[in-house]
Amino acid sequence: MLFIKKLFGLVVLSSFVVACNATPDQPASEIPEVSNQCKEPRPQMCTMIYQPVCGVDKAGQLKTYSSDCNACSHVEVVGYNDGACEDNVSTEKQGSQ
């Protein structure tokens, strides 16, 4: 039983080490500028209003969200600009969260 506890502890410890070696976010200078910052606490529920915004995540990736509330409900989103993203590569529709 002691062996199993030590093995489990080793697995847990190694998962923390792996998490610390994850790739860091982009430097702030490489993240596109946003006109609106997401504030804490993040929204837990959003209305079904469709007013698209272009959300920017911590890695600098752009994604169209159905509203500012839907964009900021995702912890990886740091801010947004009004209107859909220009390239419109990725779009989140209402209700697909």
Scan for tokens 């209107």, then name that residue. Answer: 83
How far apart CA 79 and CA 74 sit, in angstroms, is 10
Contact residues for 79 (Cβ-Cβ < 8 A; gap 6+) = 34, 35, 36, 37, 38, 55, 56
Look at the pTM and tell me if it is higher than 0.85: no
- Per-domain boundaries in the chain: 26-82
- Asked if pLDDT for residue 53 goes beyond 50, the answer is yes
- Asked if pLDDT for residue 29 goes beyond 90, the answer is no
- Asked if pLDDT for residue 50 goes beyond 50, the answer is yes
pLDDT at 15: 53
User: How much of the chain, in percent, has pLDDT values that exceed 70?
Assistant: 59
